[in-house]
Structure 1
Amino acid sequence: MDCMFKKIAKQGGDIQFDDVETIIGPSVKLEGEFQSKGNVMVSGVLIGKLETSENVRIETNAQIEGDITAREAIIAGNVHGNIIIAQHLSLLSSAKITGDITAGSIAIQQGAQMNGKCSMVATVEPKPADVKQNAASVMQDTTELL
């Protein structure tokens, strides 16, 4: 288990997992929305959304049924949901992804499986629902000024 807490090499730098704040262990099944401001490692089952402003590591036997949003991520397990990574995403050879991926950069090991769209962008843009909500807010503010 020590290997999970070490730096993981990636092109252009390292993803830090020295200070994992939350571990969802192999015997844990968690349902609901999970939010964190620290590094998160999942070895168990998560049914719901996972959001962190830091890094995520999904271990080989882990299963995620929901969307993942993080700064950087390493995925070795199964994810059925959309993945939004602001910087770097590494898909290890055992990764199985069903869903769309948006990331700043992506490394995919031979053997990793993906079923969905993949986009690499310099910055992660807000979801369409957020854009509509912001546009409606601007329209309301403009109307109030008149």
Structure 2
Amino acid sequence: MFNNKSNSKGDNKTMLPTSTVNIIGSGTTIQGDIVCEGDIRIDGQVNGLVSTKAKIVVGPEGDIIGDLVCQSADILGKVTGIIRVDELLFLKGNALVKGDVYTAHFEMEPSAKFNGRCYMGDEVPENNKHGKSVLQEAE
């Protein structure tokens, strides 16, 4: 995955992987925000914001209490919070989403459950223009 190679000038530099995938494994619990640049897969539990400029996958055992912000997302587990997706949000399998969704495109399998409001395109309701999270609204 990581290689130490010398270039033609003789400098030793660490080569980073061409694509970054972050994995929160089953049995792992994180209290706090996760901010990354690459794709992230969550099979454990996260209490806090999960934000990336790439894709978020919440596996069947994944459980997030907090907001998601990303380019695209596949949800198979449970998310309680606001979801903001620039492109496609896909609820698969036995996904359970409790919270509002802001996305350009939304797809949902018949077995998935969604309890909240869905806003598509540039429509942002007046009472949520500042992006208050579910956790903030509960306080």
Structure 2 unaligned residues grouped into runs of 5+? 1-17, 132-139
* Aligned residue pairs, count: 112
* Separation in 2, partners of 1:23, 1:86: 21
* Separation in 1, partners of 2:58, 2:119: 20
SS of corresponding position for 2:130: helix
1:111 matched residue in structure 2: 111
2:9 matched residue in structure 1: none
Aligned-residue offset at 1:93: 2.3
CA contact (8 A) 1:20 1:41 kept: no
Aligned-residue offset at 1:123: 8.8
* Separation in 2, partners of 1:65, 1:31: 10
* Separation in 2, partners of 1:106, 1:44: 24
1:38 matched residue in structure 2: 38
* Separation in 2, partners of 1:61, 1:120: 27
SS of corresponding position for 1:129: coil
1:128 matched residue in structure 2: 129
1:85 aligned onto 2:110: no
Q: Structure 1 counterpart of 2:76, which letter?
A: A
Aligned-residue offset at 1:84: 0.3
CA contact (8 A) 1:100 1:118 kept: yes
Q: Percent identity?
A: 25
Higher helix content, 1 or 2: 1
* Separation in 2, partners of 1:57, 1:94: 14
Aligned-residue offset at 1:122: 5.8
RMSD across aligned positions (CA) = 2.1
What whole-Å deviation, never above 9, does each CA across 1:31-76 have from its counterpart, x for those lacking one? 1011001000000000000000000000001100000000000000
Q: TM-score w.r.t. structure 1 length?
A: 0.71
What whole-Å deviation, never above 9, does each CA across 1:98-143 have from its counterpart, x for those lacking one? 000011101100111011001111698xx6237xxxxxxxxxxxxx
2:56 matched residue in structure 1: 56
Q: TM-score w.r.t. structure 2 length?
A: 0.74
1:96 matched residue in structure 2: 96
* Separation in 1, partners of 2:20, 2:94: 22
Which contiguous aligned blocks of 4+ residues in structure 1 show a shift greater than 6 angstroms?
none
Q: Structure 2 counterpart of 1:129, which letter?
A: H
1:8 matched residue in structure 2: none
